Amino acid sequence: MWSFGVGIFVAASLSMILFTAFTISVNPPSNVERLDPKTLHLSGEFAEHNLGTTVGSDGSVTVRAIATQFMFLPRCIVVPANRRVTLRFASPDVIHGLLITGTNVNTMVVPGFVSQVHTEFTRAGDLLMPCHEYCGLGHSGMWANVQVVAQDEFKPGPDGRISCAQR
């Protein structure tokens, strides 16, 4: 009888996961995209001046950021509320990780891979994006700010770029 109950418990917890996966497509951030950490800074999307929030010609919002010892670049990220956002992170040196407080955004940043999170910020406000994985002695001083702004305040420049200072 008890084994039956145990079976129900296991089945219930698994069906919650499946339910969430099927209805709102929730997955852990798994983007197996290899990228050499040693050449990140030379060219391509993670070169210094490509970092930050970009709105594509199709209206898609992409944020690119670097997690490095011991800071994020850019140190402040601006994103629109209630709109699909793709966050992409890479590390040129060691393992980092990040979360954005009060949201479900959470990923490890492993050198050698691009971490990617798709999300929708549900509320406007100022949030913190700390490094949550030990990355060296300066780890505690590593965080960025995230500004989630209402749709009508989110006005990218003509090049599709927008930064915290601009808005």
Partner 1 sequence: MRNAERLCLAHFWVAFAAFLFACAIGTWQMWVRSPLGANVGTPGQYFMSVTAHGVSMAYVLTTFFIMGFGYFVAVTALNRALPGKLWAWAAYWVALLGVVLTVIPIATGQASVLFTFYPPLTASVWFYIGLVLVVAASWIWCVLMLIAMTQWKRENPGRPVPLAMFATVANAVMWLWTTVGVAVELVFQVIPAAMGLVQTIDVGLARTLFSWTLHAIVYFWLIPAYIAFYTMAPRAAGGRLYSDTMGRLTFILFLIYSLPVGMHHLLMDPEHGNATKFIQVLLTAFVAVPTLLTIFTITASLEIAGRLRGGRGIFGWIASLPWERPMVLATGLSFVMLGFGGFGGIVNMGYGMNAMVHNTSWVTAHFHLIFGGSVVIMYFAIAYAIWPRLTGREYKTLGPLRLQLWLWFIGMMVMTLPWHWLGLQGQWRRVANFNYADPIIAAWGPWVVVSFAGGIILLASAVLFVANLAALHRSPALGIVRPLYALAVHPPLRVPAALNGFALWNVLVLVLMIAAYGYPIAQFLIDPSPGAIVHRVR
Partner 2 sequence: MPDITPRPSEPHVLDQPWRMWSSVAVVGILLSGILLGVLVIPIVQGRSVGIDAYTAICRALGILPGSPAQPQSPTPLPGIPVSQVTWTSDLLQILARADVRRGHAKVQEVCVACHGEKGESIGVEFPHLAGQSGAAIYKQLFDYRTGSRAHPMMTDVAKALDEAAIADVAAYYAGQPQRNPNLVTMAESPPAIVQLVELGDPKRNIAPCSSCHRAGAGGPIETPVLAEQRAEYIVQQLKLYASGKRRNDVYARMRTIAAQLTDEEIRGLAFYYRAGFR
Partner 3 sequence: MQSNTSSAADSPFEAADDIDETALASVMRSVPLGAAVLAGTAVALLVLGYLAVYLLVFIPRGTVG
Beta strands per DSSP E along 69-163: 71-73, 76-80, 84-90, 96-99, 106-109, 115-120, 125-130, 143-149, 161-162
Exactly one of 81, 94, 160, 163 binds partner 1 (CB under 8 A); that residue is 94
Contact region for partner 3 (CB under 8 A) — 20-28, 38-46, 47-55, 135-143?
20-28
If we measure between CA atoms, which residue out of 92, 128, 85 comes closest to residue 110? 92
What are the φ/ψ torsions at residue 146 (nearest 5 degrees)?
-125, 125
The pair of three-digit structure tokens given for residue 22, joined into one six-digit string = 């099927």
Region near partner 3 per CB under 8 A, out of 36-44, 58-66, 111-119, 154-162: 111-119
Name which of residues 7 to 26 contact partner 1 (CB under 8 A).
Answer: 9-10, 13-14, 16-17, 20-21, 26
Which residues is 97 bridged to in the sheet?
Answer: 108
- Report the interface residues with partner 1, using CB under 8 A: 2-3, 5-6, 9-10, 13-14, 16-17, 20-21, 26-38, 69, 91, 93-95, 97, 99-102, 104-116, 127-128, 130-140
